[in-house]
Homo-oligomer: A and B are copies of this chain.
């Protein structure tokens, strides 16, 4: 796609020294319509981006700077905030106020209900923006994102959980009660901060569940499922840590509304719902996805099985947690918000093997 020079966008990344930051830089390197002008990191202020991340061939002159709202506002049209929750809500209002567009990768603007947010996180310091923010899942909210100034980029687990379930809940094919989401994530989801628990020798050749029944992505998933079903949904959600760098696979168990529903009925419904979604692929009957098929790419693959013995539906979805689960989806939102083609810089096939 040709990108006219008028539409060229200047991009800032706040909190660029983590894994979602370096992934944004990797993706944006191939984007013909943007220039990354500012990358901030308190810890690495002054360091060349390529010195910290030698994988980033092609950013010879870019250096991390300390976060400075004025400087960013003067040098960017759109900002990605790739900082922890609570930090995001402190800076996002200033960018919005200054007229920038924001794609926020934190959790701070994902939950529409201030009460729910505060029950799972902490006090919200910018509740006035909750109404303006759009949940940045383009497959569900494409048109609202296109006209939005603030996209709340979804969590990785929620992206993998919401995409397979929402079409079925909207159609009433799945019962709202009894949904169980058993998710497995690669270790990059834990970020680039240091801890004993994420040392190589602790993760490698290991496998564990964590935050059982307590993970903060739970209310985010429940919000979108409830919205689709038009009734309050509570789920069981269990995340697990997999000894691999990238990828999330969610195995979802739910009860069919009509016990006569077949696997192909579900596949047809999903296929129809996502017929215009360039990054969702519904697999044929009998085929189940592998995270290795989406590694490094922005795709979400979904497999389907109705278990006739128990009358239960099993959905299996995969994404790359750093791409469709974070930075790729953020660029997808940016594309929509800036008038680029939705798929720009996101067409790469997965890196396999």
Which A residues form the contact surface with B (CB < 8 A)?
19, 22, 25-26, 29-30, 53-58, 178, 180, 182, 184, 186-188, 192, 194-196, 198-210, 212-213, 234-236, 238, 240, 242-247, 249, 251, 253, 281, 283, 287-297, 299, 301, 303, 305, 307, 309-310, 312, 314, 316, 318, 347-353
Q: Are B201 and A245 in contact (CB under 8 A)?
A: yes
Known: A198-B200, A251-B240. A288 touches B353 (CB 8 A): no
Using Cβ atoms and an 8 Å threshold, which residues of chain B touch A288? 208-210, 212
Q: Are A348 and B348 in contact (CB under 8 A)?
A: yes
Of B30, B57, B236, B301, the contact of A314 (CB 8 Å cutoff): B236
Q: A55-B294, A208-B291 are in contact. List 12 more A-B contacts (CB 8 A).
A: A30-B347, A55-B295, A58-B349, A180-B180, A182-B251, A184-B184, A187-B201, A192-B199, A204-B244, A207-B247, A243-B244, A351-B351
Using Cβ atoms and an 8 Å threshold, which residues of chain B touch A208? 249, 288-292
Known: A253-B253, A305-B212. A349 touches B200 (CB 8 A): no
Q: Are B182 and A192 in contact (CB under 8 A)?
A: no
Q: What 10 A-B pairs have minimum CB-CB distances, sorted nearest first?
A: A206-B292, A201-B353, A55-B352, A55-B350, A213-B307, A194-B194, A200-B203, A208-B290, A54-B293, A182-B182
30 A-B contacts (beta carbon < 8 Å): A19-B201, A26-B351, A30-B347, A55-B297, A57-B299, A58-B349, A180-B180, A182-B251, A184-B184, A184-B240, A186-B207, A187-B200, A192-B196, A194-B196, A198-B199, A199-B199, A200-B200, A204-B353, A205-B245, A205-B295, A206-B244, A206-B292, A207-B291, A209-B288, A209-B303, A212-B288, A213-B305, A213-B307, A243-B244, A348-B348
- When all copies of this chain in the complex are counted, the total is 4
Using Cβ atoms and an 8 Å threshold, which residues of chain B touch A201? 19, 187-188, 192, 198, 245, 353
Q: Report the bound CA distance from A194 to B201 in whole Å.
A: 11
A195 to chain B, nearest CB (A): 6
Using Cβ atoms and an 8 Å threshold, which residues of chain B touch A307? 212-213, 236
Q: Report the bound CA distance from A293 to B52 in whole Å.
A: 11
A347 to chain B, nearest CB (A): 7
Using Cβ atoms and an 8 Å threshold, which residues of chain B touch A188? 201, 353
Q: Report the bound CA distance from A200 to B199 in whole Å.
A: 5
Q: Are A213 and B316 in contact (CB under 8 A)?
A: no
Using Cβ atoms and an 8 Å threshold, which residues of chain B touch A290? 54, 206-208
